Structures are given as C-alpha cells and as structure tokens.
Structure 1
Amino acid sequence: MRSKTRLAVGLDLGSTSTRVVICGLEEETVKFLGFGEAPVQAWNRSRLADQEALAESIRFALHEAELRAQVSPESAVIGVGGSVAGVNSRGLYEFGRRRDIEPGDLRYAVELAARVRLEEDRQVLQICPQDFTLDGRAGYRNPKG
C-alpha cells in the first residue's frame, strides 16, 4: 500500500456481534482491505450492560481486521447514535489568595464540573471543557499563568 493511502475504519456495535472493516483511501478510490467480527454479549434492551465485554469484542474484531488487512490503523472516527445526550456543567474552584493558574488547577476545575449525577444506566463518554471563567469574566480557553 502506498504511503499516500489513508485508512478508514468502520465499526458496527451490533446487539449480538461487533464488526470492523478497514479500507484504504487513495485519491478518489476506496479499496476494501480487511474485515473482523466478534460475538458480544454486552447489551441489554439496547443499553450497554457490560462495558468490558464490549471493549473486548472491539479489540478482537479490530485485531482480526488488522490481520486480514495487514495494516494497523492509528485512529478511527466513531459515530454514536441512540440515546446519547450532551450535558453542560460548571465547576467552581476558588483559589483563595491571588496567584498564577497552574495546569493542575485547570484539571481540578474540570474534574469538579464532571461530577454530575447520572441515571444508573448512564455513563460519561467524554469530557470537553468549553471555557473557563476568571474573576467573573467568561471565555478563557486556556487560562494558564
């Protein structure tokens, strides 16, 4: 496969099996490279019941696809459908005395904002800090220093 070839990875998380397909993208051509499939028992009524079982089936299906394709993709873009919801949250971290902001302060503020109550069958997939507020002024993306 030429070095200009980009890889595209498809991932299907089905109720009974996980499937992975790897394709090569070169100019305007898509070439099928490999496919992998693994059984999975991670779902209960369309909800994730066993995260580790799902992760293991993804690893197995991906490994199978990589062996057949003879390539190892570094990344994949995944679409998640169904009952996924975004939640905005705030974390308040008061420094006390005036001082420079350090990376640990930002991590702690994000950690505080991530402490949201979720229904029992829900879990956090990703945390995306949007901005920080300092001295009452919002909109700081990276307020170190």
Structure 2
Amino acid sequence: MFADHSLRKRAAGLSYGITAIVSLVLGGIYAVKQSFMPYHADALSMGWGEVEAANQVLISALMTVAGGGWFTVGVVILVLLVFPFRSDRRWALYALPAVILLFYLPNLWATLSVLQNTPGNPPWQGNAIACLSAVVGFALYHKPLKGRT
C-alpha cells in the first residue's frame, strides 16, 4: 500500500513538473522573442515586417506579458512541488491542478479561437496537454480536504 501511495505521488509530481518545465521554456521564448511566431504570421496572413510599427510594439508587449505568465506559472508550480506538495500539505494537492487549469484553460480557449477564426494553426495541443496533466496529476494523487492542513 505504501509503495503504491509513493508511486502515485511521484507520478503526479512528474506530471506537474513536466508542465512547469515546459511553462518556463515557453515563458523564456515568448519573453525574449523579437517578432511574432510563425502561426501568428499565418493568422494575420502577413510577415512581421509588414506589420505597422505601432502594432509591432503592441504585439511584442503582449508576447512579453504572455511569456511572463508562462514563466510565472512555471515557477509557482515548481515552488508548490518543492515545498507544500513534497511535505504532503493537502491544500497543495488542490492548488497545483488549480494553478495549471486557471492558466492553461484560457490559453487553450484563445488558441482554439485563433484556429477557428484565422488561417493560423496555433499549437493548441500543448495547452490541452497541460490541462490534461492537471487532471491526471490530481487523479493520481489527491486527498479529501478535512480540517486544517
């Protein structure tokens, strides 16, 4: 019984940890990118050089904010894993999937909107996988909240 408990906790932690690492990488890419992504060009049917200067500034700013969001969610997931999850704090078992879903569900919705309404083909699958990782991690390892822990 104990080995199964430990294995399920490790599998949940791995699921969350992979999402954290991917979030950090995406955050870094989006925060430092000097132009938009190829699927952005497809969505607008124009290259970066064709975009007006004021719109370039706006798009760059939005990409920096998105990068900051991805980076932040990656850091939050790692902090929750290293401290309260590792210490088996029950609230962290709920906070981890909540943080992931609160960030990645709107991203999934946005990418699906771009997919449906533009010629662009954004990587919506990554957002879906992140949401799935939250559900899988929670299903693998959660405890009912009882009392204060």
TM norm structure 2: 0.24
Q: Higher RCO, 1 or 2 (CA under 8 Å, sep at least 6)?
A: 2
Structure with the higher helix share, 1 or 2: 2
TM norm structure 1: 0.25
Rg (Cα) greater in structure: 1
Structure with the higher strand share, 1 or 2: 1
